[in-house]
């Protein structure tokens, strides 16, 4: 379960703080390039979080699905996510 993963929760809270900082930067009419750099930082952090969540999913849910005999469905889900991830 992701909810119980303190590292993921801390990373999400960090990204939330960064987003709030970006909103403040926009409200304060800060330099566009500085805002853009902060947006890129948040995107990188969200990618990192997403990979950690997918890793947990593969190690837990997908592994369990194979034990139960329905792993193909979980593999299809992962392939769908990866295809969306690579289009970014």
| 51-56 long-range Cβ contacts below 8 angstroms, 24+ apart | 52/5, 52/7, 52/8, 52/11, 53/2, 53/8, 54/78, 54/81, 56/2, 56/5, 56/8
* 37-86 residue pLDDT tens: 999 999 999 999 999 999 999 999 899 999 999 898 999 999 998 898 78
This model's pTM is above 0.75: yes
**Which tokens is 42 given?**
């948040």
CATH architecture of residue range(s) 6-86: Up-down Bundle (1.20)
Per-residue pLDDT at 17:
97
Average pLDDT over residues 16-38: 98
Both structure tokens of 68: 């139960």
What residues does each domain of the chain span? 6-86
Residue 36: pLDDT band by 50, 70, 90 thresholds? Answer: very high
Count of alpha carbons within 13 Å of 18, Cβ hemisphere only? 19
């Amino acid at each position: 379960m992701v909810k119980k993963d303190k590292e993921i929760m801390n990373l999400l809270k960090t990204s939330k703080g960064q987003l709030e900082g970006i909103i403040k930067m926009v409200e304060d009419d800060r330099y566009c390039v500085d805002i853009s750099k902060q947006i890129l930082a948040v995107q990188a952090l969200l990618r990192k979080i997403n990979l950690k969540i997918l890793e947990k999913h593969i190690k837990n849910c997908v592994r369990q699905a194979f034990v139960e005999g329905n792993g193909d469905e979980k593999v299809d889900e992962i392939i769908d996510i990866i295809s969306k991830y690579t289009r970014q």
